[in-house]
Structure 1
Amino acid sequence: MLKTNKDKVVKWSVQGKVHHPTGGTYRITHEGKPMILPATGGISYNVKIGDSAFGWAGDHVEPGVSMRNENTNENAALMTFACIGNEAKIISGDAKGAKGYVTGMHGGIDHVLVYFDEETLENLSIDDKIQIKAYGQGLQLTDYPDVHMMSIDPDLFEKLGVTEVDGKLQVPVVAKVPPYLMGSGIGSGNGYSGDYDIMTADTEEIKRLGLDRLKFGDLVLLQDCDNSYGRGYLKGAVSIGVVVHSDCIKAGHGPGITTIMVSKTPMIEGIIDEEANIGNYMNK
């Protein structure tokens, strides 16, 4: 097992509420067609971790529950310190006491996304409060100081099956994404919060690379993508991320990726594994 500083990583509380969907205006497709579609926020009853990220009659659809704070500073802390795999507990309303886990962060709308089982979703309401045991920021790989760890619960990380081979880290991933497909979110100054999108307007290229089979929760490798101190292109850099929201109709957008591991050099290798999905690891 890789050596980490997990015993020194602080576990503390962040909190938010189920956020009502916003918008309702036309969204313009990359082909210039105006459409009215469900998008971000609320409770998605039939969209969950493990489902396809493609084919939904929606735009930027978020699986499970979308939560945030209306106070900007408090929401920034929620977005930054909630990590994929963290325990989430409902602390108000009819579903009080039920537990789930964080599945990703969606920038722009600034939502933290959470999985709960179907029974819990039926009892949950808009504005119900959710508390998260924020645990993960500050995680380090003791023997790999040049690898940036971010936004993943240390306990979940240990379940991913990352191995050391000839001085490199091999990580199970469902697919590898070339840098020319990364779009909305490029240029952001912080890789520790939110996500950025795989552009999908070129459907033939997406199919050629097998990216049309991506599911919510899948791990992917981003080639030549540096998320160490922001999001951008760097030859040889490698990022590992998780698919957090659906495909999109807007130009420059597509399935969102929250990053969890980054190296400025080719120190990380992706090993193709169709089962590399956080839903599978969380059930172990």
Structure 2
Amino acid sequence: MTICDNRDRLVAISVMGQIHHPTIGHSGTFKLCHDGTSGVLPSVGGITYNVKLGDCVYDKICDHVEPGVSMKNPDPKENDALVMLACIGNKARVVSGDAKGTAGFVTGFHGGIEHTLLWFPEEALDKMLPGDRILIRAYGQGLSLDDFPEIMLTGVDPALLDRMGLSVLNGKLAVPVAAKIPAHLMGAGQGMGSGHTGDYDLMTADRAELVRCGLDRLRYGDIVLLENCDNTYGRGYLTGASSIGVVVHSDCTIMGHGPGISTIMSCKKPLIEGILNPHANLADYMGI
């Protein structure tokens, strides 16, 4: 069965920003961990050379680290447009600096710091500098599925949707996923006013529960099912709801935090069926 959509009516528009230098939060240099210890760790922003799509989110010593390139617009209103209009899978191109002309794509969004995250080839990362400008061909907001009008798509490029192997199974939209996450493990970001931007975190302080749920080997770029999670008009719990998201940043040390998940699909009704598939990852779908 062909899954039809309205992509021919969508607008493609330019959005742009620049590579954002790493920052330190208002709490100062040290971060208090959920076990009461503290330390100095790499965190948000910059160009991350050795954290990539497909890597395990728990392997490096870090906190909220973003793989690849972290981008932001200096003008707050223009940055709001950047994180709202850009979609995961959108094409990106470096337009200044020594890596000018290099092509990449959007991998996710990080709320709070309001970063747009991007993949670029490894050889280009060494040529990039904070401040280099990046242009994105934003395309995908307003996308909807003809046969599933109740399912809200929240920031995914139609071309990525085509690569995800969607199908219809027993009247539901079947989506290949690397893992299924129960609602009781979702933490920081609950209660946000929009599911169309940013992310929210899988809580990871209870390692035994992560192992029990099969979440101890999550990777950057994994496509995941969020059970009983409603991300249509905000982020919260709703029995029977389900959402599809992408793992976008590393594990975290702060209580209530963990790997970030940007949502791309949500429904208040039980119309999304997650089908476990170890290859459900952006790295596989984008051929990198």
Question: Is the TM-score greater than 0.5?
Answer: yes
Inter-partner Cα distance in structure 1 for 2:239 and 2:210: 21
Kindly provide the amino acid, as one letter, of the partner of residue 9 in structure 2: K
Instruction: Name 1:3's counterpart in structure 2.
Output: 4
Instruction: Name 1:265's counterpart in structure 2.
Output: 269
Instruction: Name 2:58's counterpart in structure 1.
Output: 54
Instruction: Name 1:212's counterpart in structure 2.
Output: 216
Answer yes or no: is 1:139 the counterpart of 2:149: no
Displacement of 1:207: 1.1
Kindly provide the amino acid, as one letter, of the partner of residue 165 in structure 1: L
Inter-partner Cα distance in structure 2 for 1:28 and 1:148: 37
Deviations 1:88-116 (A, max 9, x none): 10000000000000000000011000000
Instruction: Name 1:157's counterpart in structure 2.
Output: 161
Instruction: Name 1:255's counterpart in structure 2.
Output: 259
The percentage of aligned residue pairs carrying the same residue is: 55
Kindly provide the amino acid, as one letter, of the partner of residue 42 in structure 1: G
Corresponding residue pairs, total: 284
Q: Among residues 226, 234, 237, which one is paired with 1:230 in the alignment?
A: 234
SS at match of 1:258: strand
Answer yes or no: is 1:35 the counterpart of 2:36: no
Instruction: Name 1:221's counterpart in structure 2.
Output: 225
Deviations 1:39-96 (A, max 9, x none): 0000000001111111211100100000001211111111111111000100000000
Displacement of 1:283: 1.1
Inter-partner Cα distance in structure 2 for 1:8 and 1:177: 33
Inter-partner Cα distance in structure 2 for 1:250 and 1:109: 15
Displacement of 1:34: 1.0
Inter-partner Cα distance in structure 2 for 1:152 and 1:225: 18
Instruction: Name 1:19's counterpart in structure 2.
Output: 20
Inter-partner Cα distance in structure 1 for 2:265 and 2:134: 26
Instruction: Name 2:130's counterpart in structure 1.
Output: 126
Q: How does 1:70-149 map to 2 (within 5 A)?
A: 70-149=74-153
Inter-partner Cα distance in structure 1 for 2:202 and 2:87: 21
TM-score when normalising by structure 1: 0.99
Inter-partner Cα distance in structure 1 for 2:32 and 2:10: 44
Inter-partner Cα distance in structure 2 for 1:194 and 1:136: 16
Displacement of 1:150: 1.2
Deviations 1:164-222 (A, max 9, x none): 11211110001110101000000000000000000000000011111111100000000
What CA RMSD, in Å, does the superposition of the two structures yield over aligned residues?
A: 0.9
SS at match of 1:257: strand
Inter-partner Cα distance in structure 1 for 2:115 and 2:45: 8
Q: Which runs of 5+ in 2 are unaligned?
A: none
Displacement of 1:9: 1.1
Q: Which runs of 5+ in 1 are unaligned?
A: none
SS at match of 1:211: coil
Inter-partner Cα distance in structure 1 for 2:91 and 2:211: 35
TM-score when normalising by structure 2: 0.97
SS at match of 1:123: coil
Kindly provide the amino acid, as one letter, of the partner of residue 7 in structure 2: K
Instruction: Name 1:246's counterpart in structure 2.
Output: 250
